[in-house]
Structure 1
């Protein structure tokens, strides 16, 4: 005869007055984490108790029930209810739904407390995002959702932002094929096709860092910190209907402008307007560009201007600023660093002094009538006007020599062209070598050149900043302007020996650092 399958019996559930409940010392939760008791109390006040308490009878010394119950599982909910009672928002005898474990159970109270906290699974972030979206679609505002879950509205905006990611990528994230920070990086763009293209590319690479995802999604955009944006202003771009891509999860310095063509048009329009104002000063021509190539003024002659003198008011203010600066520096001369407010004030003083000392320049109207101005953007996004350049065809003619070489010699006392040898002009007569120093030998010139080269190497080694600057200049010149070999420095990894040198050179102080570097 087959035995009957034993069925489990669930613990009874009933309402128990709150004043008959006590917190059990068997509750395993000790450390504070997650939602605070105050926030949980406000949540219970708003929506009621969503989960029953797990309790068991309190026994006296003889093993009889006392009518009170201890709470080994649900301690945070008990404390929240206790806080509501203290705030007189809940009656002391209010019934509390409880699941009652029978007295003398073989299951320990610590077992129940641990199981309640371990056997639960945290909500997947994607389910939270979708829940926020559903709540928003059903009429709740972002602020109401944030208040209901005790978070700031920015958190809700961030969660809702993740829902603009492609469904395909959301599914990959749900199946743990993508990390949360990677999903957050994709939320910077709402172009699902591009999102999926980027994922297909990085999925085949070992580098799947969020910064790379952001870079690939914004490669055809312009940063809001770009000099063109600073020049025209982000507000002007937005007013013209330009879209902006924002990142809600990281600092984006204003975001990315998605219409570079519109931005460039706004820049050129503002440059053209500035050029007309400058042309009205009396210049012959004005050229505008986002930026001019290096050396664009090389073939032009530059006219000189006169700095505008300081007015009496400006001179008085400049003196006062210098005096204040000297007083502050003397007051804190022995301090390791300036206090924050003093440091800010010194910065303001330096800016004011610089603005006063950088004087505008006035030009002669006659010179302005044949000169022009290059108008472009400076590196910091401000207007750059290079005034006073004259084109080659507008340069004044140099006075020509009227007299010939021969005629020029007629005024020299004692000169007679009959003294020149027959058939030779004065230019063809080689002057006799004067008595004095004799030319240096080739050997000596080579040794002196070796000494000079070694001295330059030693100077470079003693001044890393100068060496780095010259190296950078050489690399830019060779790679960008393609004029290799136009200077004294050649940048590549190679040892250049000095085959010809004087016998005492290897032991000289200049050669010692180089020799130590080779041995190292």
Structure 2
């Protein structure tokens, strides 16, 4: 069976000059797929499986454009020397009768087959990206859909979409890519522009330079706000568009560009004011963080939510749910109920309070609203006091001059010391309260403040190499800290903390004190290790990285002999000594990881390996 084709035949024995007369038109033989196999001459041995599926789909839809080439062997079968990917793709198409017989151009001899196998891929030139951009653009202009273009070229839809985005650039930009004056990445930055004049001005600045994509985008749209901006996240696309904003796209980073910053600011303020409804006033801060001093400039006084009251049944239910939550066994429904009870207990602002106070809102870097509420401005201070929503300050009104101290600083310090002594005397009768408070501080819930005159320092337990090191999870998890480490309601937090019960408090106390354990005296340290049954190997296993690669070769030789009961002249010992240090370290790591994988290790030796510690370590 013959299929018409006009390929070229080259027989080096017959004509080595490759003249025009040697380019003889040939045809392809139709060979059953079952008689084809991949020849050992074919240089392409590894291929991408997803790529094969794409190629098979391309052939199924468009047919075979370029024939395979092969050499018939003595059994009559044909080994494919050029077209190995196409042969593998045909294997995926054997459910289609059209592809059960394949056109193959046959080499007259092995010498020709070798040349075909070697030259097919080397002389295949990939199209320049600019030419590909123009070609995709021309096909799209003729109405060819993106999936059809992707199928024809064996690429993804996303690849085609990005090339088509480049196809809409001004022609000088595409030509700049063709002339290798700008990179593809630089050209991609131009896709955000809708002003050709600006694009050409920026193009003139970047030709032949290494200007970053980011800088090009800033020149093209200096006022645009990225979709990852905290204001954009908070406002959202819909509210921004409703405020008259325009969206620009950056297909190459899958990110929106908010091209109308004024509209974004209007939408941002409108959304924030909706969150501030009910208060006498609201300030919207465009900063993502406010210091305490910045908040105080608004503040003449501060109101706090009126605590709610739980019934006896609600208190019992709260305690039960809190216990389940501490045990990590509370489901979503129970968590929602616990949150609702917590909200009731924490209380809320009354309408009267809101009528005399306001809030300061900001949006943090994650796009989440942060509220500083219950703030009474200095000019509203007297009215709030008269209305009974704010207790008069013992220091006078916010607008009055500071009163003269009634006592000297020295006397005030003495009185503070007396009060501190009275508190210490009283708490001697309440050891549980004392331990609860210590656990509360050690748990991190006091933030940057303290309840005891203890100053803790970090006790380092993390080695430079953490491989083979498995510390107890309780010593790794960071302590829980309040959202505002300086300005939280710690009395309220401590009351809630004590409700978790003795076990929870004791767990924090144990974890906190254990993390600070750092015994300096060797004798005392040995006693503690004996009483607690401390075991270095329980948390640490020597590996090449954390130990063996960090000691000398002779040390490794001696350790190998020690663990396996070998004399230095034993063949196993001498063979080990001849290894490179890296290989020795790897052998020892394998020995410690699982002694059973090393041939000849006895039970006694395995026990010795499990108990081994570096010199001087308990």
Tell whether 2:239 aligns with 1:236.
Answer: yes
Equivalent residue in structure 1 for 2:357, among 365, 372, 382: 372
**Pairing of 1:317-328 with structure 2 (within 5 A):** 318-328=318-328
In 2 relative to 1, CA 101–361 (structure 1 residues): closer, same or farther, beyond 3 Å? closer
Q: CA deviation at 1:175?
A: 1.6
Q: CA deviation at 1:259?
A: 0.7
Which residue number in structure 2 is paired with residue 258 of structure 1? 259
The higher relative CO (CA closer than 8 Å, separation ≥ 6) is in: 1
Task: Summarize deviations over 1:269-325 as a string: whole Å, max 9, x none.
Answer: 3445555x315xxx4xx2443458863643752154453315448755643443123
> Helix, strand or coil: the match of 1:16?
strand
* Bigger Rg, which one: 1
Deviates more, 1:389-398 or 1:140-149: 389-398
Report the Cα distance in structure 1 between the residues aligned to 2:351 and 2:58, rounded to whole angstroms. Answer: 78
TM-score of the superposed pair, with normalisation by structure 2? 0.49
In structure 2, stretches of 5+ residues that fail to align are: 1-17, 387-391, 394-454, 459-618
TM-score of the superposed pair, with normalisation by structure 1? 0.57
> Is the CA contact 2:58–2:151 (under 8 Å) kept in the aligned structure 1?
no
Report the Cα distance in structure 1 between the residues aligned to 2:201 and 2:263, rounded to whole angstroms. Answer: 26
**Pairing of 1:4-153 with structure 2 (within 5 A):** 7-19=20-32, 22-23=36-37, 24-33=39-48, 36-55=51-70, 58=73, 70-81=79-90, 83-84=92-93, 86-90=94-98, 92=100, 94=101, 96=103, 98=105, 100-103=106-109, 107-149=111-153, 151-153=155-157
Report the Cα distance in structure 1 between the residues aligned to 2:228 and 2:99, rounded to whole angstroms. Answer: 59
> Is the CA contact 2:192–2:217 (under 8 Å) kept in the aligned structure 1?
yes
Task: Summarize deviations over 1:158-192 as a string: whole Å, max 9, x none.
Answer: 22222233322221211222222333333333443
Q: CA deviation at 1:236?
A: 1.6
Q: CA deviation at 1:96?
A: 1.9
Task: Summarize deviations over 1:46-71 as a string: whole Å, max 9, x none.
Answer: 2121113334565x6xxxxx977654
Tell whether 2:287 aligns with 1:298.
Answer: no
Report the Cα distance in structure 2 between the residues aligned to 1:386 and 1:349, rounded to whole angstroms. Answer: 24
Q: CA deviation at 1:18?
A: 1.1
Q: CA deviation at 1:260?
A: 1.1
**Pairing of 1:161-176 with structure 2 (within 5 A):** 161-176=165-180
In structure 1, stretches of 5+ residues that fail to align are: 61-65, 330-341, 400-459, 464-520
Task: Summarize deviations over 1:218-241 as a string: whole Å, max 9, x none.
Answer: 541223333433443322213445
Equivalent residue in structure 1 for 2:229, among 226, 245, 250: 226
> Helix, strand or coil: the match of 1:158?
helix
> Helix, strand or coil: the match of 2:26?
strand
Task: Summarize deviations over 1:227-269 as a string: whole Å, max 9, x none.
Answer: 43344332221344522233323353xx221111112222333
In 2 relative to 1, CA 162–302 (structure 1 residues): closer, same or farther, beyond 3 Å? same
> Is the CA contact 1:305–1:364 (under 8 Å) kept in the aligned structure 2?
no
Which residue number in structure 2 is paired with residue 278 of structure 1? 278
Report the Cα distance in structure 1 between the residues aligned to 2:351 and 2:360, rounded to whole angstroms. Answer: 20
**Pairing of 1:399-438 with structure 2 (within 5 A):** none
> Helix, strand or coil: the match of 2:374?
strand
